[in-house]
Structure 1
Amino acid sequence: MKRTELKRATPLKSGGIQARERRKKRCKVCKAMFAPARDFQAVCGEIACAIAHAPANQVRARKALADIERKEIKVRKEKLKSRADHLREAQVAVNEYVRMRDAHLPCISCDSSPSDHDLITGSRWDAGHYRSVGACPELRFEPLNIHRQCVKCNRNLSGNAVEYRIRLVLRIGAEQVAFLEGPHPARKYTVEEIKTIKAEYRVKTRELKRAAA
């Protein structure tokens, strides 16, 4: 008598267990709902949650979460900055470059070389504009218009402009000084342009510091 082969109505999937959709879970760390890839998965796919859930990695987890929080705070602060804030930060970057560039030179207005070694805080050096930002905002970031200047000349003597010009001609030449004193088209920097200026001068300052090391 010929036997008839039995066939299953529903064939088994690979591994012997039929695939099924897993129910969503709540992450034990961030409390967000997620679809687990494994039955015993307790946290979502975020790296920070995975690290935080591992008992052996608590120190690392705290550091990772703190880094994430700092980055988020930085992003939020960046969004809250006004155009004036960006201008100030860019000017700080340019001024730092100027002081580093002129570190071997005396004050542009009085030829003095005051030392900072006996100061507890602060500095005896500024980055002084020949044509002030108020008088000529178009040249506020022009390096030819900014030179290392002692605090006395820059702040107490309002830039000591007459002496500044005499030494500026000797330093950069009469033609360049005439350019600074000439007319300049109005300039309205965009926030992105200001950010680019800040980044460029930070790079230039780092290069000067490496060269001086």
Structure 2
Amino acid sequence: MYYIKRKAKKKDKPLPLFDKAGVTVKKKPDYKKKLDEIFSKYIRLKYAMSNGMCQCISCGSFKHWKEIQNGHYMSRRYMSTRFDEDNCRPQCVACNIFNQGNAQMYRRRLISQIGEQRVDLVEYRARNTSKHYTDFEYKELIKYYSALVDKLKKEKGL
């Protein structure tokens, strides 16, 4: 039996030059992760009823907006549609995670909500365009969706 020796992973270590000087270097903030959180809250609140319940786009089950997820019709790996409101709807954990997004039912219900042309456009943009957000764009989108989340929470009394 042969064993493959793996390379040791690089750990986040401060540079030796900074160690000697006693300077700590801050890591770059993860704007994508923060925007994912805020955008997810926005989508779930946008489709929540006044009692805080959301309906899963794929299976139709009802869950509280805090217990449901932001499901993406076209995967989050496509940055051009990752934060596209036409691409996102509330989705239960069973459909989103365990059923790989339940894409067939998701597509049917999405077409009934926004029409086939807009669904086709989401599919086209996901596969044929690329988007690289700058830190400035992330910060502005975080501000924008944070304001919308606050507004929706007040409107729906949540």
Indicate the RMSD between aligned Cα atoms, in angstroms. 1.9
Equivalent of 1:170, from 112, 115, 140? 112
Q: What is the identity, as a one-letter code, of the residue corresponding to 2:41? A: E
- Which 4+ stretches in 1 moved above 4 angstroms? none
1:114 equivalent in structure 2: 63
1:133 equivalent in structure 2: 76
Q: What is the identity, as a one-letter code, of the residue corresponding to 1:212? A: K
Cα distance per residue 1:130-171 (max 9 Å; x no partner):
00012x221111111111011110011111111100111011
Please identify the structure whose Cα radius of gyration is greater. 1
DSSP 3-state at the match of 2:71: strand
List alignment gaps of at least 5 residues for structure 2.
1-23
CA distance in 1, matches of 2:64, 2:83: 26
Offset at 1:211?
1.1
1:207 equivalent in structure 2: 151
CA distance in 1, matches of 2:153, 2:122: 28
Offset at 1:172?
1.3
Cα distance per residue 1:43-98 (max 9 Å; x no partner):
xxxxxxxxxxxxxxxxxxxxxxxxxxxxxxxxx99x5224xx11010111101000
When the two structures are aligned, how many residues end up with a matched partner?
128
List alignment gaps of at least 5 residues for structure 1.
1-75, 117-122
Contact 2:79 2:132 in 1 (8 A): no
Percent of aligned pairs with the same amino acid: 32
Q: Which has the higher contact order (CA 8 A, sep 6+)?
A: 2
CA distance in 2, matches of 1:199, 1:115: 25
Does 1:142 find its partner at 2:81?
no
2:140 equivalent in structure 1: 196
Does 1:152 find its partner at 2:94?
yes
